Amino acid sequence: MQAANRLQKSLTKGEPSFGGWQMLPGTNLTRTICRSARNVEWLLVDLEHGNISDDSMHEIVAASAACGVSPIVRVAEGQPWMIKRALDSGAHGILVPVIDTAEDARNVVRYSKFPPVGNRGFESLLAVEKFVEQHPHGSEVKELTGMEYLQQANSSLVIAVQIETKAALANVREIAAVPGVDVLFIGPFDLSVNIGHPITNPERMDPELVEAIQEIHDAAQAAGKATGIYCDTGEQAREYANKGFQMMSTMTDMVGMRKVFKQAFDAANGDL
């Protein structure tokens, strides 16, 4: 499983990992994103704010994994059934929003891990297929068995929790210390609103927000965990990678399409 999980491999090596962000349904869109560049390592399937249903999530996870890109599902909230559905679909990891306390984080870990670490129920029929190692030109397909999934899942799936509230910021060191949490992922827009400094210009964030982001990163580093952050552009993602962050989105489907269409129509308009 670890061999197939590109995000986890980069996190383990301490290297930056760049991903795409899908809010709209459709596996053609999934394949387009995943095949757009060689360094797309993961795709975030957004069930919290995206227009993606449970069945669409299953299809997107499958399409992403088939492209060799790790599917990471952001559940709507940290409910056990939501986490179960995401992981049973074969997701290589989850992102759980609105984590305020260490107890919230411990619950996420408990719902995500098989016994004795947690209490996740075991059913791997859909999940195992998302960890197949298949090489081109007729080489052998290496399939994962259900028992191998059970034995490896606790150490092979990425558990990321989102730090985006004033309460989470106050408790960030305790959250970072929770065993089983791999990534503290920053939602800068919600965090900015929650601490009273909304982002009006992504290129010029309030100093208190910048300080809060650094505080979260420092807490993660002190606990031996990775830091992730939502970015709208590749330039932002590289900037955070240079600061030691490891999990950065580089483009969201809705943001990217709007930007590219606007550029095209502005160019077509010319001097008219």
Active site residues: 49
CB 222 within 8 A of CB 215: no
Helix residue ranges, H only, the chain: 6-13, 27-34, 54-66, 80-88, 102-112, 146-156, 166-170, 172-176, 188-194, 207-222, 234-242, 253-269
Angle, helices 54-66 vs 80-88, to 10°: value is 40
Query: CA 162, CA 155: separation in Å to the nearest integer?
Result: 20
β-partners of residue 248 are 18, 229
β-partners of residue 31 are none
